A = this chain, B = another copy of it.
């Protein structure tokens, strides 16, 4: 594949993935809690993995409106999946933390789901999967708007 062909294919497949993934996420969200909204599931997953965060951190990370985050936070708080504690260092802010119960439920679902995913990706060997995951991280990083384009970077070595 030429570079151009790669770029074309990449964009096409991201488009496909984008639309398909909705269903999958919705199914997972329901497994964690019957009333959990799909988008909020993603937020929850982020909190589970990254530990307590502020709303603004999430908005920044996902590059979505803080209003949207605010509503989703309210949603998961209502479901008792997340707790808001005031930030002692800044009284405007709150720290969001996944409740123990939610974490437990989340991990259960994750394990079960990971078995399925692992099966579906059965013909990928570990190294391939590692490369792919790494490239996804790198791809996201490359597209970060704050990030200067690669050619403008002094040292370019974003990641190892």
Residue numbers of A with Cβ under 8 A of B are 1-25, 39, 42, 45-46, 49, 61-64, 114, 116-126, 128-140, 142-143, 147, 149-151, 153, 156-160
Contacts and interface: CB of A to CB of B under 8 A. Distances in A.
B136 A13 contact: yes
Nearest to A148: B120
A149 B130 contact: no
Specify how many copies of this chain sit in the oligomer.
2
Nearest to A129: B6
20 contacts: A7-B114, A7-B121, A7-B133, A12-B45, A13-B133, A13-B140, A15-B46, A16-B61, A16-B62, A20-B140, A23-B63, A24-B143, A120-B143, A120-B147, A122-B149, A122-B150, A123-B142, A123-B157, A124-B159, A126-B160
Contacts of A158: 122-123
